[in-house]
A and B are shown apart, each in its own frame.
Chain A
Amino acid sequence: MVRGSRRKALIGSLLVLSLVAAACGSDDDEGGTTATSVGEAEEVKDGGTISYAAEQEPTGFNNLTSKDNLLELRHVMRHIWPYAYLAKPDFSVEPTPTLAGEAEVTSQSPFTVQWKINPKAVWSDDVPVSSDDFEWNYLSCNGKVDPGEPTAVDEDSGETISGLDCASTSGLDQVTKFTKADPKTFSMEFEAPYVEYEGLFGDPMPPAHIGKTLPGGWNTGFDASPLLSAGPYQLKEWDKGASITLERNPKWWGPKPHLDTIVFRQLPDPSGHPTALDNDEVQIIYPQPQVDLFDKVRQLDGVHAEANFGPAWEHLDFNFKNPLLAVKEVRQAVAYGLDRDRYVDTLMKPFSDKASRLDSRVFVSNQAEYEAHGEEYATRSVEKATAALKKAGFAKGADGIYAKGADKLSFRLRVLSPNPLREQLQELIKDDLKEVGIDIRIDNFSAPDSIGKIGSTGDFDLFIFAWIGTPFEISGTQQIFASDSDSNFGKYANKKVDAAIKKVSSTLDEADRAAELNKIDEMLWEDLPNIPLFQKPAGLLAYSTKYANITDNTTSEGFFWDSSSWGLKATAG
Chain B
Amino acid sequence: MADLAPTPVGLPEPGVPDELVEFGVEAEGQWRRVLRRFLRHKLAVASLIILLVLITASFLGRTVARYGFDEYSRGEESSPPSLRHWFGTDSLGKDTLAQVLRGARRSLLVALVVAAISTTVGTLVGAVAGYYRGFVDLVLMRLTDLFLTIPALAVLLVASSRFGGEGSNWIAISLVISSLAWMYLARLVRGVFLSLREREFVEAARALGASDARIVFRHLLPNALGPIVVNATLLVAAAIATETALSYLGFGIAAPDTSLGKLVAEGVTAASTRWWLFYMPGLWLVLISLCINFVGDGLRDAIDPRGTKVRA
Contact = CB atoms under 8 A, between A and B. Distances in A.
A431 B72 contact: yes
Given A420-B266, A426-B255, A1 B248 contact: yes
B255 A442 contact: yes
Interface residues of B, number: 29
A346 B274 contact: no
A281 interface: no
B248 A442 contact: no
B219 to A, nearest CB: 49
B3 interface: no
Contacts of B248: 1-2
Given A1-B268, A346-B92, A420-B266, A292 B165 contact: no
Interface in B156-190: 157, 160-161, 164-166
Interface in A481-497: none
B91 A442 contact: no
B270 A346 contact: no
Contact of B255 (A347, A350, A444): A444
Interface string B52-87: 000000000000000000101000011000000000
A5 to B, nearest CB: 8
B273 interface: yes
Contacts of A445: 161, 164
B91 A423 contact: no
Interface in B263-288: 265-266, 268-274
Contact of A444 (B251, B254, B270, B271): B254
Contacts of B164: 443-445
Contact of A417 (B165, B166, B255, B273): B255
A296 interface: yes
B273 to A, nearest CB: 4
A292 B161 contact: no
Contacts of B9: none
Contacts of A151: none
Given A292-B270, A426-B255, A448-B157, A3 B91 contact: no
A327 interface: no
B279 to A, nearest CB: 13
B167 to A, nearest CB: 9
Contact of B273 (A295, A420, A424): A295
A230 B256 CA distance: 51
Given A1-B250, A424-B92, A426-B256, A299 B272 contact: yes
Interface in A395-431: 417-418, 420, 423-424, 426-428, 430-431
B158 to A, nearest CB: 10
A106 interface: no
A443 B255 CA distance: 8
A346 B254 CA distance: 22
B272 A428 contact: no
Interface in B258-312: 265-266, 268-274
A1 B246 CA distance: 11
A272 to B, nearest CB: 10
Contacts of B270: 291-292
B250 A441 contact: no
Contacts of B250: 1-3, 5, 417-418, 446-447
Interface string A433-453: 000000001111111110000
A271 B266 CA distance: 11
Interface in A72-86: none
Interface in B86-137: 91-92
B273 A449 contact: no
Interface in A255-294: 271, 290-293
Contacts of B165: 441, 443
B150 interface: no
B249 interface: yes
Size bracket of the A interface: 20 to 34
B81 to A, nearest CB: 17
A299 B274 CA distance: 12
Contacts of A442: 166, 255-256
B269 A292 contact: yes
Most chain A CB within 10 A, of B247, B248, B255, B274, is at: B255
A414 to B, nearest CB: 9
Nearest to B278: A292
A103 to B, nearest CB: 45
Contacts of A290: 269
B255 A271 contact: no
A296 B269 contact: yes
Contact of A443 (B77, B166, B269, B274): B166
B269 A293 contact: yes
B256 to A, nearest CB: 5
B272 A3 contact: no
B160 A446 contact: yes
A446 B251 CA distance: 8
B269 A271 contact: yes
B142 to A, nearest CB: 30
B249 A299 contact: no
Most chain B CB within 10 A, of A2, A296, A428, A443, is at: A443
Contact of A427 (B160, B161, B256): B256
B266 A1 contact: yes
Given A442-B256, A443-B166, A445-B161, A292 B249 contact: no
B283 to A, nearest CB: 18
B91 A424 contact: yes
A350 B78 CA distance: 11
Contacts of B70: 427, 431
B109 to A, nearest CB: 19
A447 B157 CA distance: 8
Given A3-B250, A299-B273, A424-B92, A449 B255 contact: no
A78 B161 CA distance: 37
Nearest to B265: A1
A430 B255 CA distance: 13
Interface string A290-315: 11110110010000000000000000
23 contacts: A1-B247, A1-B266, A2-B249, A2-B250, A3-B250, A271-B268, A291-B270, A292-B269, A296-B269, A296-B272, A296-B273, A346-B77, A423-B256, A426-B255, A427-B70, A428-B92, A441-B165, A443-B164, A444-B254, A446-B251, A446-B254, A448-B157, A449-B161
Given A424-B92, A442-B256, 15 more contacts: A1-B248, A1-B265, A1-B266, A2-B249, A3-B249, A271-B268, A290-B269, A291-B270, A291-B273, A346-B77, A417-B255, A418-B250, A426-B255, A445-B161, A449-B161
Per CB-CB distance, the 8 closest pairs between chain A and chain B, nearest first, are: A3-B250, A295-B273, A292-B270, A292-B269, A423-B255, A442-B256, A418-B250, A292-B273
Interface of A: 1-3, 5, 271, 290-293, 295-296, 299, 346-347, 350, 417-418, 420, 423-424, 426-428, 430-431, 441-449
